Structure 1
Amino acid sequence: MTSDPTVEPGPLARSSAVTVTLLAPVARFSLRARAGDLAALSGALGLDLPQKIGDRAAAGAVEALCLGPDEWHILAPEADAGRLAAAAAAVYDAAPHSLTDISDREVTVMVEGPAAAELLTIGCPRDIDRIAPGRGCRTVMDGVTVLLWRDGPERFRLDIWRSFAPHVIALLRTGCVELATCS
């Protein structure tokens, strides 16, 4: 992990309307597979992989986000990484796929509060209000590719490539200050 203090877990910025927090590390996987192999992979991973782009599924602490017709982003507690990789490997012959551990590639920032959606609009061109709670998408934040998870009406997560995290975090901090001066 980088020693840059902007990417250590904990609170990053706070105002009366929004809080930005860097979350603790999790296991992350990129899964690529054909539609015909999803049943075997779903069984191995212990959750029904969603088949519609933007849909999410969860079983306990394991989450999956469908990013494309053959692509999923999977999150789990770090302690489950080995178990998930082994389970997927066990069905490889019957369900060929690519499961890549990308845990060190990204960090996750939580943005929550009444002005969370407004804060995201300072760098995200998507209409945030059109992303329903419980869905997610690949998008950009000030030119940086991110995964945006909407966990609730006022709660979002951004998965950001570690090398771009200082830039996105600085943008969110600045926006948090600006929103505080406007309220």
Structure 2
Amino acid sequence: MTVDLDLVARSPLADWQLHADGVAARERPLLGQLSVRTPRDLRRLVLGAEGSHASQRRQVEQVLRLGPDEWLVLTPTADLGSRTTTLREFGVVTDVSGQRTAVELTGPRARDVLARGCAIDLDPSVAPVGTCVSTLLAQTGVIVLVEPEAILLLVRSSFASYLARWLEDASTDLD
């Protein structure tokens, strides 16, 4: 007996967006994510640069340092196969693309919204572009990545709708 399965990738926050006074949010759906375990500096190996921040970017690819030997490479899904092959030269690579989704916050009040549920100080003087931290936001584990024009939240797919509703609530009545 043959079962024909047509599997289609579906983002957990399909069609969700937030527009409030001073803040907007949307999902960056189906972002390729590769977990790499290596004691070597993956930023230098992949991007050719060392940096003081936990995140480094080259064009559409980012390398995030999550721990002493744990890295997360964000890449377009079309490049997952070739990047996996290339990164295996440096360590153990696992495709974790389906594990998390990405929520992008923009606007002058984005940091104020996050301050309502996050203990990490995200003031630009403390958390400049390139900052990457794992923390709790509204009792949900997230990776916070400060980008030049946005703040990216990587959240487990199973918690994405909860976080979206929390962001909607936290965006109301900003002082």
The two structures have a TM-score, normalised by structure 1, of: 0.80
- Judge conservation of contact 2:55–2:130 (CA < 8 Å) in 1: yes
- Judge conservation of contact 1:49–1:66 (CA < 8 Å) in 2: no
Question: Deviation of residue 177 (structure 1)?
Answer: 2.3
Deviations 1:40-94, CA, capped at 9 Å, x for gaps: x954xx4247575x521222211101111111111000111000111123x2xxx
The two structures have a TM-score, normalised by structure 2, of: 0.84
Look up the SS of the partner of 2:159 in the other structure: helix
Q: Which runs of 5+ in 1 are unaligned?
A: none
Kindly report structure 1 stretches of 4+ aligned residues shifted beyond 2 Å.
Answer: 1-4, 48-52
Look up the SS of the partner of 1:125 in the other structure: coil
Look up the SS of the partner of 1:131 in the other structure: coil
Q: 1:76 to 1:98 in 2, by over 3 A?
A: same
Look up the SS of the partner of 1:74 in the other structure: strand
Q: Which amino acid is the alignment partner of residue 157 of structure 2?
A: R
- The percentage of counterpart residues that share the same residue type is 24
Question: Deviation of residue 135 (structure 1)?
Answer: 1.7
Q: 1:30 matched to which residue of 2?
A: 35
Q: 1:75 matched to which residue of 2?
A: 74
Q: Which runs of 5+ in 2 are unaligned?
A: 1-8
Q: Which has the higher helix share?
A: 1
Equivalent residue pairs, number: 165
- Judge conservation of contact 1:51–1:66 (CA < 8 Å) in 2: no
Question: Deviation of residue 155 (structure 1)?
Answer: 2.1
Of 157, 162, 166, 1:162 maps to 157
Question: Deviation of residue 16 (structure 1)?
Answer: 2.7
